Structure 1
Amino acid sequence: MYNLLSGLSVIETSSFVASPTAGLYCAQMGAEVIRVDHKEGGLDYDRYMLTEAGRSLSWENLNRAKKSVALDLRSGEGRELLVELAATTGNLITNLPEKSFLSHGAVAARQPDGAPDLVSVRIMGWHDGRQAMDFTVNAASGYPLMCGPEDWDMANAPPVNQVLPAWDFITGAYCAFALLAALRHRDATGEGNEVRVPLGDVAIGTMANSGALAEMLYRGADRERLGNAIWGAFGRDFRSRDGVRFMVAALTPKQWDGLVAAFGLGDAITALEGELGVRFADGDGPRFENRHRLFDLFQDAAANADWADLSARLAAQGTTFERYRTMHEAASDPELVTNNPLFGPAPANPSGFDYPATRSFANMPGRDVGNPAPAPYLGQHTEEVLANRLGLSSGAIGTLVDRGIARLSDKE
């Protein structure tokens, strides 16, 4: 954690991935992020996979460094407490529908004198109000029908879904950015803002920003499937003599020259250039257009070398490459995890399972990044937040707990 956002407090009421990610990134930069859930846990509280103790590892990692308040959000009184917390704090991240008790207007109307104008960031499905989630907007984007082996029939082959909920994580990161942009505007003008970020717009907008939307309209058709090849450049997976599969990419002249040298293909490349009447050093175009001939040359060379020798040559030439790992291999890899300064000492996880935890992704030389903070227990900070934010006495909070409106820590 860095403390660049110390002094900023945010109320987060959310579930699943995108909205908690926005709060997580703020918390990792030092903001006080107070997640408010239903007293039995939100929709993601028991999200798979669970430990033997019944704790969700997904929830635990998306809510590190946050505080947790647990209220009966099915009751009018519990909802009123949440609205009051958001109104008093003045900063809100949520994926609850706009037409709910936590609408921007409802919260803004409850703001006390002296509170900053409300800034709310709301994650939606589609811009027109339809529901959506990562895997459904991904289906609409066209990407799953762009993936798969090159020889698949475009008309009849099945889609290939990605397993990473990438649109959720991109949306969460964008929402953290949008929140800080709105806060900067408020600091300059005193004006709050309602910010709505549709998950579907993030997906289709990212497709447009990548140039893919313009490409499809320009070509008047879909792009062909490429298997594991890189679109528009030289790159693909290969297999060494001892069965190690790895990926290489060459987007610059230096990367291309390094690959040719590491594979020992200088003479073969020269001969192929003479046959085809091209110069592969001229850029991505000739390399991509003649990729199949090049792939054959590179795979033949890879099949005659063991990975230890080939990887040493690739490294010596400064090429861009990496071997494929299973995710369990990646999680256990010293280079990626154990010796990576991104990870710090494991905090006291509510799950009781001891494993590496991430610091902020950003690296700021000269600043102390600190160690990863644990996730809270559900309701761990209910009493603290209700007292400090709403000024409730211990007796009043005790009454709320006794009546089932508020819940304290679920630590057993």
Structure 2
Amino acid sequence: MNRPLAGLQVVECASFVAGPTGGMTLAQLGANVIRIDPIGGNTDFHRWPVVGSGSGPADAESYYWASLNKGKRSVTIDMRSDEGRELVLALITAPGDDRGVLVDNVVGRRWMANDVLVGRRPDLIHLRVQGYPDGRPAVDYTVNAEVGIPQITGSEEGGAPVNHVLPAWDLVTGLSVSTGVLAALYDRARTGNGAYIELALADVALAGVANLGWLSEAVDRGADRPRHGNHVYGSFGVDFACSDGARVMVVALTEGQWAALRTVTGTEQVFAALERALDADLTKESERYRLRETIAAVLRPWFAARDLKTVSDELDAARVLWSRYRGMSEVVEAHRGGHHPVLADVPMPGGHDLITARSPLRFGGDHGPAGDVPALGQHTDEVLAEVLGLSDPEIGGLHDRGVVG
């Protein structure tokens, strides 16, 4: 199908999560994203998880790299050589209305500085991903520690900080990359002006906690928010164990959801008495949060007396907001059964299957293709011929001199 960014060319010189996520997002919307790596691959080329679950050879294929770089064209160039650097600059600043877009996270390459690139193409759109705004390095797990998330995560007993597993700030930064590129393209189409956009991971994390009101809350409290385990903050929601050991997460954000939960569990009279005894109004979200432990204690026996199938049937019939806890193996099983159209099986160059995702955006109800996984350097020759107009003998000479892979 024809995706909305078909015809746009983006050059990506980035590694790890944020920059490649931005490039992948643009590629799945139809952009021709050319990822440039050093010969042999960048530092993320064999990053875990890898084929063999880490028990294979050190150069095992990376599920991580394959999934974040699907749908792109892979070019490998010796960027330490003068010829290689000139090829990279030429690809970045190639003429054409739908070209001249760069996403990178490079540090210390003076030859790729924005002023150098703009000297060759004044309307260049250049988005640079950084750790900190001053250029110092940072990763998701270090900036997350600095904005206070691990200190409010985990059991109420406290203790050591609890790091999150999901690199959330990396993923949000990657989506911000695509947003920034598209905004700059819109402006260039209207004014003819290029843009130099800097996007720091640390700023994304700070913006995230600030926009949720959490920093203002710390000022209001005069201290950090206490930990509250698996309880949903500011409302009622917590996990319950069923009689067969399965666990479910139940949430009552709205008055209607709270009424449905009371009705299905047959606890209306219990909670009415509780409201009278404690002078509380549990139709209010804040009151449900304040009395969360008491509410959970009342509801817990209902779940403990039923297996998952019974709980599932009764909660669904009552339109309660809930979900069961699943392991990732169960998610895979559901995918194999055709229950997750956003997921796709794509072959990797080494022959292994990759479970990856199509774009979550559905145009006319269609996620579009996930995108093929490139072999490292697979498209070097065709990109040099197509974008720079190099002949076969010229490209052959570059190979002979070790300039391209």
Question: If the TM-score is normalised by the length of the shorter chain, which range does it land in?
Answer: over 0.9
Within 5 Å, give how 1:181-192 maps onto structure 2: 181-192=183-194
2:348 aligns to what?
A: 349
Deviation at 1:15, TM superposition (A): 0.5
Check 1:369–1:222 CA distance in 2 against 1; reply closer, same or farther (3 A cut): closer
Check 1:355–1:391 CA distance in 2 against 1; reply closer, same or farther (3 A cut): closer
- Residues 2 and 28, structure 1, Cα contact 8 Å, conserved in 2: no
2:144 is the alignment partner of 1:138: yes
Which deviates the most, 259-268 or 244-253? Answer: 259-268
3-state SS of 2:110 partner: coil
Within 5 Å, give how 1:292-307 maps onto structure 2: 292-307=293-308
Which deviates the most, 196-205 or 302-311? Answer: 302-311
2:106 is the alignment partner of 1:92: no
Amino acid at match of 2:84: G
Amino acid at match of 1:104: N
2:375 aligns to what?
A: 377
1:317-361: CA deviation from partner (whole Å, max 9, x where unpaired): 1121111112222232249x73222124x3332231124432110
- Residues 28 and 368, structure 2, Cα contact 8 Å, conserved in 1: no
Amino acid at match of 1:402: D
Root-mean-square deviation over aligned CA pairs? 1.7
1:37 aligns to what?
A: 37
Residue of 97, 105, 118 corresponding to 1:108 = 118
- Residues 359 and 368, structure 2, Cα contact 8 Å, conserved in 1: no
1:226-253: CA deviation from partner (whole Å, max 9, x where unpaired): 0000110000111112211111111111
Amino acid at match of 1:166: A
Deviation at 1:60, TM superposition (A): 0.3
Check 1:250–1:84 CA distance in 2 against 1; reply closer, same or farther (3 A cut): same
2:256 is the alignment partner of 1:257: no
- Residues 147 and 160, structure 1, Cα contact 8 Å, conserved in 2: yes
Within 5 Å, give how 1:21-32 maps onto structure 2: 21-32=21-32
- Residues 4 and 29, structure 1, Cα contact 8 Å, conserved in 2: yes
- Residues 63 and 354, structure 2, Cα contact 8 Å, conserved in 1: no
Residue of 244, 268, 271 corresponding to 2:270 = 268
Check 1:325–1:398 CA distance in 2 against 1; reply closer, same or farther (3 A cut): same
Which deviates the most, 99-108 or 210-219? Answer: 99-108
Check 1:217–1:81 CA distance in 2 against 1; reply closer, same or farther (3 A cut): same
3-state SS of 1:204 partner: helix
Q: Which runs of 5+ in 2 are unaligned?
A: none
3-state SS of 1:406 partner: coil
The whole-number CA distance in structure 1 between the counterparts of 2:110 and 2:297 is 59
Deviation at 1:369, TM superposition (A): 4.1
Q: Which runs of 5+ in 1 are unaligned?
A: 408-412
The whole-number CA distance in structure 1 between the counterparts of 2:362 and 2:65 is 25
Deviation at 1:214, TM superposition (A): 1.1
1:315 aligns to what?
A: 316
3-state SS of 2:251 partner: strand
The whole-number CA distance in structure 2 between the counterparts of 1:98 and 1:234 is 49
Residue of 80, 85, 89 corresponding to 1:83 = 89
2:223 aligns to what?
A: 221
Percent of matched pairs sharing the same residue: 41
3-state SS of 2:111 partner: coil
2:133 aligns to what?
A: 127
The whole-number CA distance in structure 1 between the counterparts of 2:165 and 2:87 is 38
The whole-number CA distance in structure 2 between the counterparts of 1:100 and 1:294 is 61
Amino acid at match of 2:280: V
Check 1:403–1:94 CA distance in 2 against 1; reply closer, same or farther (3 A cut): same
The whole-number CA distance in structure 1 between the counterparts of 2:383 and 2:326 is 44
- Residues 28 and 369, structure 2, Cα contact 8 Å, conserved in 1: no
Amino acid at match of 1:96: V
2:181 aligns to what?
A: 179
- Residues 335 and 343, structure 2, Cα contact 8 Å, conserved in 1: no
- TM norm structure 1: 0.92
Deviation at 1:2, TM superposition (A): 5.7
The whole-number CA distance in structure 2 between the counterparts of 1:131 and 1:370 is 35
3-state SS of 2:346 partner: coil
2:388 is the alignment partner of 1:390: yes
3-state SS of 2:239 partner: strand
Deviation at 1:202, TM superposition (A): 0.1
3-state SS of 1:174 partner: helix
The whole-number CA distance in structure 2 between the counterparts of 1:79 and 1:141 is 38
Which deviates the most, 230-239 or 293-302? Answer: 293-302
3-state SS of 2:199 partner: strand
The whole-number CA distance in structure 2 between the counterparts of 1:182 and 1:370 is 24
1:410 aligns to what?
A: none
1:71 aligns to what?
A: 77
- Residues 2 and 360, structure 1, Cα contact 8 Å, conserved in 2: no
3-state SS of 2:347 partner: coil
- Residues 11 and 92, structure 2, Cα contact 8 Å, conserved in 1: yes
The whole-number CA distance in structure 1 between the counterparts of 2:157 and 2:61 is 44
1:162 aligns to what?
A: 164
Amino acid at match of 1:354: D
1:340 aligns to what?
A: 340
1:62-85: CA deviation from partner (whole Å, max 9, x where unpaired): 011100111012222212211111
Amino acid at match of 2:29: M
Which deviates the most, 168-177 or 73-82? Answer: 73-82
Amino acid at match of 2:18: A
The whole-number CA distance in structure 1 between the counterparts of 2:4 and 2:293 is 50
